[in-house]
Amino acid sequence: MASTPDSTLSGDHTIAFIGGGNMARSLIGGLVAGGVAAGSIRVADPGEATRAGLEADFGVATFAEASAAVADADVWVMAVKPQVLRGVCEGLGDATRDRPPLVVSVAAGITSAQIERWLGGQAAVVRAMPNTPSLLGAGMTGLFATARVDAAGRALAEALLAATGRTAWIDDEALMDAVTAVSGSGPAYVFLFAEAMEAAAIAQGLPADTARLLVQQTLLGASRMLAESGEAPAELRRRVTSPNGTTQAALEAFEAGDLRSLVASAVDAARRRGQELSAAND
Protein backbone atom coordinates (compact mmCIF):
# COMPACT_ATOMS: atom_id res chain seq x y z
CA MET A 1 0.00 0.00 0.00
CA ALA A 2 1.04 3.60 -0.49
CA SER A 3 2.50 5.45 2.43
CA THR A 4 1.37 8.90 3.51
CA PRO A 5 3.68 11.63 2.15
CA ASP A 6 5.78 12.93 5.01
CA SER A 7 6.76 16.50 5.89
CA THR A 8 9.52 16.30 3.27
CA LEU A 9 6.95 17.33 0.66
CA SER A 10 5.27 20.05 2.70
CA GLY A 11 6.26 23.65 3.13
CA ASP A 12 8.12 25.53 0.44
CA HIS A 13 8.26 22.92 -2.32
CA THR A 14 6.38 23.47 -5.55
CA ILE A 15 5.99 20.42 -7.78
CA ALA A 16 5.49 20.74 -11.53
CA PHE A 17 4.27 17.71 -13.47
CA ILE A 18 5.10 17.76 -17.15
CA GLY A 19 2.43 15.49 -18.59
CA GLY A 20 -0.93 14.79 -17.00
CA GLY A 21 -1.57 11.17 -18.01
CA ASN A 22 -2.33 8.16 -15.85
CA MET A 23 0.99 8.00 -14.02
CA ALA A 24 0.95 11.72 -13.22
CA ARG A 25 -2.65 11.41 -12.09
CA SER A 26 -1.80 8.54 -9.74
CA LEU A 27 1.07 10.49 -8.20
CA ILE A 28 -0.98 13.65 -7.83
CA GLY A 29 -3.85 11.72 -6.29
CA GLY A 30 -1.53 10.06 -3.79
CA LEU A 31 0.08 13.35 -2.83
CA VAL A 32 -3.19 15.22 -2.36
CA ALA A 33 -4.74 12.32 -0.43
CA GLY A 34 -1.68 12.33 1.81
CA GLY A 35 -2.06 15.98 2.72
CA VAL A 36 0.15 17.79 0.21
CA ALA A 37 -1.53 21.11 -0.64
CA ALA A 38 -3.06 21.15 -4.11
CA GLY A 39 -1.84 24.73 -4.42
CA SER A 40 1.76 23.49 -4.43
CA ILE A 41 1.17 21.25 -7.47
CA ARG A 42 1.16 22.38 -11.09
CA VAL A 43 0.55 20.31 -14.20
CA ALA A 44 1.38 20.97 -17.85
CA ASP A 45 -0.49 19.03 -20.52
CA PRO A 46 -1.56 20.01 -24.03
CA GLY A 47 -4.93 18.28 -23.67
CA GLU A 48 -7.70 20.62 -22.57
CA ALA A 49 -9.87 17.75 -21.32
CA THR A 50 -6.96 16.32 -19.34
CA ARG A 51 -6.30 19.67 -17.70
CA ALA A 52 -9.97 20.18 -16.86
CA GLY A 53 -10.16 16.74 -15.28
CA LEU A 54 -7.12 17.34 -13.09
CA GLU A 55 -8.43 20.71 -11.96
CA ALA A 56 -11.84 19.26 -11.11
CA ASP A 57 -10.55 16.15 -9.35
CA PHE A 58 -7.61 17.56 -7.40
CA GLY A 59 -7.81 21.36 -7.45
CA VAL A 60 -4.34 21.73 -8.96
CA ALA A 61 -3.29 24.50 -11.32
CA THR A 62 -2.84 23.41 -14.93
CA PHE A 63 -1.09 24.89 -17.94
CA ALA A 64 -0.97 24.18 -21.65
CA GLU A 65 2.76 24.97 -21.77
CA ALA A 66 5.48 23.29 -19.71
CA SER A 67 7.43 26.54 -19.36
CA ALA A 68 4.53 28.10 -17.46
CA ALA A 69 4.15 25.13 -15.13
CA VAL A 70 7.82 25.02 -14.09
CA ALA A 71 8.07 28.73 -13.25
CA ASP A 72 9.26 28.89 -9.60
CA ALA A 73 8.86 25.10 -9.19
CA ASP A 74 11.79 23.38 -7.51
CA VAL A 75 10.67 19.81 -8.28
CA TRP A 76 9.86 18.76 -11.84
CA VAL A 77 8.24 15.41 -12.60
CA MET A 78 8.76 14.41 -16.23
CA ALA A 79 5.74 12.23 -16.99
CA VAL A 80 5.68 12.34 -20.79
CA LYS A 81 6.31 9.54 -23.27
CA PRO A 82 9.99 8.64 -23.88
CA GLN A 83 9.87 9.64 -27.54
CA VAL A 84 8.89 13.24 -26.73
CA LEU A 85 10.99 13.74 -23.60
CA ARG A 86 14.03 15.12 -25.42
CA GLY A 87 12.04 17.90 -27.08
CA VAL A 88 10.33 18.78 -23.80
CA CYS A 89 13.62 18.92 -21.90
CA GLU A 90 15.41 20.98 -24.52
CA GLY A 91 12.55 23.45 -24.44
CA LEU A 92 13.03 23.88 -20.69
CA GLY A 93 16.83 24.15 -20.61
CA ASP A 94 16.87 27.89 -19.98
CA ALA A 95 14.63 27.49 -16.92
CA THR A 96 17.23 25.34 -15.14
CA ARG A 97 20.05 27.91 -15.15
CA ASP A 98 19.07 30.32 -12.39
CA ARG A 99 17.54 27.73 -10.06
CA PRO A 100 18.46 24.15 -10.99
CA PRO A 101 15.51 21.92 -10.06
CA LEU A 102 15.27 18.38 -8.81
CA VAL A 103 14.03 16.48 -11.87
CA VAL A 104 12.25 13.16 -11.40
CA SER A 105 11.71 11.26 -14.66
CA VAL A 106 9.31 8.35 -15.00
CA ALA A 107 10.07 7.83 -18.71
CA ALA A 108 11.12 4.25 -19.48
CA GLY A 109 14.47 3.69 -21.16
CA ILE A 110 15.76 7.27 -20.88
CA THR A 111 18.98 7.60 -18.87
CA SER A 112 19.76 10.27 -16.33
CA ALA A 113 22.73 11.40 -18.43
CA GLN A 114 20.44 12.00 -21.40
CA ILE A 115 18.04 14.05 -19.29
CA GLU A 116 20.88 16.07 -17.75
CA ARG A 117 22.29 16.83 -21.17
CA TRP A 118 18.95 17.76 -22.71
CA LEU A 119 18.27 20.15 -19.82
CA GLY A 120 21.62 21.88 -20.17
CA GLY A 121 23.67 20.06 -17.53
CA GLN A 122 22.49 21.87 -14.39
CA ALA A 123 19.63 19.75 -13.05
CA ALA A 124 19.83 17.07 -10.36
CA VAL A 125 18.11 14.04 -11.86
CA VAL A 126 16.35 11.08 -10.28
CA ARG A 127 15.28 8.35 -12.65
CA ALA A 128 12.19 6.47 -11.50
CA MET A 129 10.46 3.37 -12.84
CA PRO A 130 6.96 3.01 -11.36
CA ASN A 131 4.38 0.50 -12.52
CA THR A 132 0.66 0.57 -13.22
CA PRO A 133 -0.52 -0.69 -9.79
CA SER A 134 0.58 2.78 -8.66
CA LEU A 135 -2.88 3.81 -9.90
CA LEU A 136 -4.28 1.87 -6.93
CA GLY A 137 -1.64 2.92 -4.40
CA ALA A 138 -0.05 -0.53 -4.70
CA GLY A 139 2.83 0.34 -7.00
CA MET A 140 6.51 -0.50 -6.98
CA THR A 141 9.10 2.07 -8.06
CA GLY A 142 12.82 1.65 -8.62
CA LEU A 143 14.85 4.84 -8.13
CA PHE A 144 18.31 5.96 -9.24
CA ALA A 145 19.89 9.31 -8.34
CA THR A 146 22.79 11.06 -10.04
CA ALA A 147 25.71 12.51 -8.10
CA ARG A 148 24.09 15.96 -8.23
CA VAL A 149 21.21 14.75 -6.07
CA ASP A 150 21.89 15.42 -2.39
CA ALA A 151 20.32 13.68 0.60
CA ALA A 152 17.43 16.14 0.68
CA GLY A 153 16.76 15.53 -3.01
CA ARG A 154 16.73 11.78 -2.51
CA ALA A 155 14.29 12.16 0.37
CA LEU A 156 12.05 14.36 -1.78
CA ALA A 157 12.01 11.88 -4.66
CA GLU A 158 11.34 8.96 -2.35
CA ALA A 159 8.46 10.76 -0.61
CA LEU A 160 6.97 11.64 -3.99
CA LEU A 161 6.97 8.07 -5.32
CA ALA A 162 6.04 6.52 -1.97
CA ALA A 163 2.67 8.25 -2.35
CA THR A 164 1.72 5.45 -4.76
CA GLY A 165 3.32 2.38 -3.20
CA ARG A 166 6.77 1.10 -2.25
CA THR A 167 10.19 2.22 -3.43
CA ALA A 168 13.69 0.76 -3.79
CA TRP A 169 16.92 2.61 -4.58
CA ILE A 170 19.23 1.20 -7.24
CA ASP A 171 22.92 2.19 -7.00
CA ASP A 172 23.89 1.18 -10.55
CA GLU A 173 21.83 2.87 -13.25
CA ALA A 174 22.64 0.06 -15.67
CA LEU A 175 20.29 -2.08 -13.57
CA MET A 176 17.33 0.24 -14.15
CA ASP A 177 16.55 -1.61 -17.38
CA ALA A 178 16.31 -4.78 -15.30
CA VAL A 179 13.99 -3.00 -12.86
CA THR A 180 11.83 -2.00 -15.82
CA ALA A 181 11.81 -5.60 -17.05
CA VAL A 182 10.79 -7.03 -13.67
CA SER A 183 8.46 -4.58 -11.93
CA GLY A 184 7.76 -2.03 -14.65
CA SER A 185 6.54 -4.58 -17.18
CA GLY A 186 5.78 -7.26 -14.58
CA PRO A 187 2.07 -6.51 -14.11
CA ALA A 188 1.49 -7.44 -17.76
CA TYR A 189 3.12 -10.82 -17.12
CA VAL A 190 0.67 -11.44 -14.28
CA PHE A 191 -2.23 -10.37 -16.48
CA LEU A 192 -1.12 -12.77 -19.21
CA PHE A 193 -0.91 -15.62 -16.71
CA ALA A 194 -4.37 -14.71 -15.41
CA GLU A 195 -5.67 -14.68 -18.98
CA ALA A 196 -4.25 -18.14 -19.58
CA MET A 197 -5.67 -19.48 -16.30
CA GLU A 198 -9.11 -18.09 -17.14
CA ALA A 199 -9.05 -19.72 -20.56
CA ALA A 200 -7.97 -23.04 -19.04
CA ALA A 201 -10.74 -22.85 -16.45
CA ILE A 202 -13.36 -22.17 -19.11
CA ALA A 203 -11.98 -25.05 -21.19
CA GLN A 204 -12.61 -27.30 -18.17
CA GLY A 205 -16.28 -26.30 -18.25
CA LEU A 206 -16.43 -23.53 -15.66
CA PRO A 207 -18.63 -20.47 -16.40
CA ALA A 208 -16.62 -17.43 -17.52
CA ASP A 209 -17.61 -15.26 -14.54
CA THR A 210 -16.73 -18.02 -12.09
CA ALA A 211 -13.42 -18.62 -13.84
CA ARG A 212 -12.53 -14.96 -13.57
CA LEU A 213 -13.41 -14.78 -9.87
CA LEU A 214 -11.41 -17.93 -9.11
CA VAL A 215 -8.34 -16.56 -10.88
CA GLN A 216 -8.58 -13.03 -9.46
CA GLN A 217 -8.94 -14.14 -5.86
CA THR A 218 -6.27 -16.82 -6.19
CA LEU A 219 -3.72 -14.33 -7.53
CA LEU A 220 -4.70 -11.75 -4.91
CA GLY A 221 -4.42 -14.22 -2.06
CA ALA A 222 -1.13 -15.66 -3.29
CA SER A 223 0.30 -12.15 -3.66
CA ARG A 224 -0.67 -11.31 -0.10
CA MET A 225 1.00 -14.48 1.14
CA LEU A 226 4.17 -13.51 -0.73
CA ALA A 227 4.11 -10.00 0.72
CA GLU A 228 3.08 -10.80 4.27
CA SER A 229 4.53 -14.22 5.12
CA GLY A 230 8.19 -13.27 4.96
CA GLU A 231 8.89 -16.58 3.23
CA ALA A 232 10.62 -17.13 -0.11
CA PRO A 233 8.41 -18.07 -3.07
CA ALA A 234 10.04 -21.50 -3.27
CA GLU A 235 9.16 -22.25 0.35
CA LEU A 236 5.54 -21.18 -0.11
CA ARG A 237 5.34 -23.36 -3.21
CA ARG A 238 6.71 -26.37 -1.33
CA ARG A 239 4.16 -25.92 1.46
CA VAL A 240 1.19 -26.15 -0.88
CA THR A 241 2.55 -29.01 -2.98
CA SER A 242 1.55 -32.41 -1.63
CA PRO A 243 3.53 -35.40 -2.96
CA ASN A 244 1.76 -36.98 -5.94
CA GLY A 245 -1.12 -34.52 -5.58
CA THR A 246 -2.90 -32.26 -8.04
CA THR A 247 -0.58 -29.30 -7.48
CA GLN A 248 2.51 -31.41 -8.08
CA ALA A 249 1.01 -32.68 -11.34
CA ALA A 250 0.43 -29.12 -12.53
CA LEU A 251 3.89 -27.93 -11.49
CA GLU A 252 5.53 -30.85 -13.29
CA ALA A 253 3.70 -29.78 -16.45
CA PHE A 254 5.07 -26.24 -16.03
CA GLU A 255 8.59 -27.58 -15.52
CA ALA A 256 8.28 -29.86 -18.56
CA GLY A 257 7.38 -26.79 -20.60
CA ASP A 258 10.48 -25.01 -19.24
CA LEU A 259 8.51 -22.16 -17.68
CA ARG A 260 11.56 -20.80 -15.86
CA SER A 261 13.56 -20.38 -19.06
CA LEU A 262 10.60 -18.75 -20.77
CA VAL A 263 10.26 -16.22 -17.95
CA ALA A 264 13.99 -15.50 -18.05
CA SER A 265 13.82 -14.94 -21.81
CA ALA A 266 10.85 -12.60 -21.44
CA VAL A 267 12.56 -10.50 -18.76
CA ASP A 268 15.73 -10.29 -20.84
CA ALA A 269 13.74 -9.23 -23.91
CA ALA A 270 12.16 -6.40 -21.91
CA ARG A 271 15.56 -5.32 -20.57
CA ARG A 272 17.07 -5.21 -24.07
CA ARG A 273 14.10 -3.24 -25.35
CA GLY A 274 14.72 -0.65 -22.64
CA GLN A 275 18.27 -0.23 -23.87
CA GLU A 276 17.01 0.13 -27.44
CA LEU A 277 14.56 2.84 -26.38
CA SER A 278 17.40 4.82 -24.82
CA ALA A 279 19.49 4.62 -27.98
CA ALA A 280 16.56 5.42 -30.26
CA ASN A 281 15.64 8.57 -28.35
CA ASP A 282 19.16 9.97 -27.92
Q: Residues 99-127: pLDDT tens digits?
A: 899 999 999 889 999 999 999 998 999 99
Same domain, 12 and 135: yes
Same domain, 201 and 140: no
Of 179, 196, 225, at which residue does a domain stop?
179
Same domain, 174 and 194: no
Of 128, 146, 179, at which residue does a domain stop?
179
Of 153, 179, 205, at which residue does a domain stop?
179
Same domain, 175 and 80: yes
Bridge partners (DSSP) of residue 17 are 43, 77
Query: What are the pLDDT digits (tens) for 234-276?
Result: 999 999 999 999 999 999 999 999 999 999 999 999 999 988 9
Reported as type and span, the H/E element at residue 215 is helix 208-229
Give the whole-angstrom CA distance, residue 244 versus residue 123: 60
Same domain, 166 and 237: no
Is residue 1 situated within a structural domain? no
- Checking if the pLDDT of 11 tops 90, the result is no
Give the whole-angstrom CA distance, residue 257 versus residue 241: 18
Give the whole-angstrom CA distance, residue 155 versus residue 21: 24
Domain hosting 148: range is 7-179
Is residue 52 situated within a structural domain? yes
Give the whole-angstrom CA distance, residue 209 versus residue 74: 49
Same domain, 204 and 142: no
Q: Which amino acid is at 137?
A: G
Domain count for the chain: 2
Same domain, 81 and 21: yes
- Angle at the Cα of 143 from the Cα atoms of 279 and 105, rounded to 5 degrees: 55
Same domain, 51 and 145: yes
Query: What are the pLDDT digits (tens) for 155-174?
Result: 999 999 998 999 999 999 99
Is residue 248 situated within a structural domain? yes
Same domain, 135 and 242: no
- Checking if the pLDDT of 9 tops 80, the result is no
Same domain, 159 and 190: no
**H helices present in 6-81, as ranges:** 22-33, 48-58, 66-70
SS3 content of the chain, % helix, strand, coil (to 5): 60, 15, 30
Same domain, 172 and 257: no
Q: Is 82 helix (H, G, I), strand (E, B) or coil?
A: helix
We report the CATH number of the domain holding residue 156 as 3.40.50.720
Same domain, 120 and 172: yes
Give the whole-angstrom CA distance, residue 119 versus residue 67: 13
Is residue 257 situated within a structural domain? yes
E strand map for 180-261: none
